[in-house]
C-alpha cells in the first residue's frame, strides 16, 4: 500500500484520476478491454469529474461495476447510487462504456447479488476506484467486516455511524430516512482488483485514515485490509492525513 498526500482536495482528485486513467489505458493497450469499479459519495465528486475528462481512453471498451446500492431505493431517489453514477459518470463520458452494470436492489436484493456477481466473475477488475468511510468501511462493509466470504456481493446491515454519514452529507432529510440495508461488494472481491485507487479527502476522514494506515489489520477497521494489497494507493489531502504520525 502506498500513500500520496496532496495539498488540496482538488489536487488529490486530479492525482487519483490521473493514476486510475493511466491504469485503464494500460489495460486497454494490453488486452483491448478494461474493467473497473466505481465508488460514490461526496468524497468522489472531484475525482470522477477529472476521470471522465481524461484523454486517450476508449471508453467503448471499458466495462464498469459499482460498489453498493441501498435496498428498496428507486433510481429516481436523489441518494440512489445508480442515479449518482449515471449522472456523474456515464452521462458525462465522451462515448458510452462497453457496459455499466447497475445494482438494482429495489425488489430482490439477494437475486441481484447473484446476477451481478456472475457477470463480475467474467470480468477481472483492472482498477477499483474506492473511498474510505468515516467509520473505516470499504463499500458498505461496516465494522466488523467479513474478511472471509467469497461472495462477490452481499446484503448488509448499515450501522448508525454509516447511516449518520449519509445523512450529514445531505443525501437524506432525516437520519430515519437513511435505509438500514444495502447491497455491498465484499471485501475479498474488492481486494481481487489488480489495482486500487482510493480517494479520501476531508478532515472528517482523518481518524479512519489513521486507523486504516497505521493500525493493525482488523475487521474492526475494514479499510485496514488495504495494507495487504500490493497495488493499492491511498490519495489524501492535508486534512485527511492530519492525524498520521
- Looking at the chain, the whole-number percentage of residues with pLDDT higher than 70 is 100
Q: Report, as an integer, the average pLDDT of 183-206.
A: 98
CA distance 165 to 131: 13
Q: Report, as an integer, the average pLDDT of 93-114.
A: 97
Q: Report, as an integer, the average pLDDT of 69-94.
A: 96
User: Three-class SS of residue 129?
Assistant: strand
pLDDT at 201: 97
Residue 108 cell numbers, joined: 430482490
pLDDT band at 131 (very low <50, low <70, confident <90, very high): very high
pLDDT band at 16 (very low <50, low <70, confident <90, very high): very high
pLDDT at 239: 98
Alpha helices by DSSP H, the chain: 9-31, 45-52, 81-88, 109-121, 160-168, 187-191, 206-214
CA distance 165 to 23: 30
List, for residues 146-175, the tens digit of each pLDDT value: 999 999 999 999 999 999 999 999 999 999
pLDDT at 130: 98
Whether 197 contacts 16, CB under 8 Å: yes
| Residue of 101, 24, 89, 9 whose CA lies nearest to 53 | 89
Q: Report, as an integer, the average pLDDT of 131-150.
A: 97
pLDDT band at 63 (very low <50, low <70, confident <90, very high): very high
CA distance 64 to 36: 5
CA distance 205 to 152: 26
pLDDT at 103: 97
Q: How far is CA 76 from CA 9, 73, 82, 99, 231, in A?
A: 29, 8, 9, 21, 36
**Mean pLDDT, the chain, as a whole number?**
97
User: Three-class SS of residue 33?
Assistant: coil
pLDDT at 210: 98
Q: Report, as an integer, the average pLDDT of 3-14.
A: 97
Bridge-based pairing state of the strands 232-236 and 62-66: unpaired
pLDDT at 140: 97
Q: Report, as an integer, the average pLDDT of 89-104.
A: 97
- Crossing angle between the packed helical segments 81-88 and 45-52, to the nearest 10 degrees: 40
Amino acid at each position: 500500500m502506498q500513500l500520496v498526500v496532496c495539498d488540496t482536495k482538488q489536487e488529490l482528485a486530479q492525482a487519483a484520476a490521473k493514476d486510475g486513467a493511466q491504469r485503464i489505458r494500460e489495460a486497454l493497450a494490453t488486452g483491448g478491454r478494461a474493467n473497473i469499479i466505481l465508488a460514490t459519495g461526496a468524497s468522489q465528486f472531484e475525482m470522477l469529474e477529472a476521470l471522465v475528462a481524461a484523454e486517450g481512453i476508449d471508453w467503448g471498451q471499458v466495462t464498469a461495476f459499482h460498489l453498493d446500492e441501498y435496498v428498496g431505493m428507486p433510481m429516481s431517489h436523489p441518494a440512489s447510487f445508480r442515479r449518482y453514477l449515471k449522472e456523474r459518470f456515464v452521462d458525462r463520458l465522451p462515448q458510452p462504456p462497453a457496459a455499466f452494470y447497475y445494482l438494482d436492489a429495489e425488489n430482490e436484493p439477494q437475486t441481484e447479488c447473484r446476477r451481478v456477481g456472475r457477470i463480475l466473475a467474467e470480468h477481472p477488475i483492472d482498477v477499483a476506484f474506492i473511498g474510505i468511510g468515516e467509520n473505516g468501511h470499504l463499500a458498505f462493509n461496516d465494522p466488523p467486516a467479513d474478511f472471509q466470504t467469497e461472495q462477490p456481493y452481499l446484503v448488509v446491515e448499515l450501522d448508525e455511524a454509516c447511516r449518520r454519514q449519509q445523512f450529514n452529507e445531505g443525501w437524506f432529510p432525516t437520519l430515519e430516512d437513511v435505509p438500514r440495508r444495502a447491497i455491498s461488494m465484499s471485501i475479498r472481491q474488492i481486494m481481487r482488483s489488480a489495482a486500487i485507487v482510493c480517494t479520501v479527502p476531508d478532515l472528517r476522514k482523518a481518524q479512519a485514515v489513521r486507523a486504516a494506515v497505521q493500525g493493525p489489520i482488523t475487521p474492526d477497521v475494514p479499510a485496514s485490509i488495504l495494507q495487504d494489497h500490493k497495488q493499492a494507493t491511498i490519495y489524501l489531502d492535508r486534512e485527511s492525513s492530519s492525524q498520521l504520525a
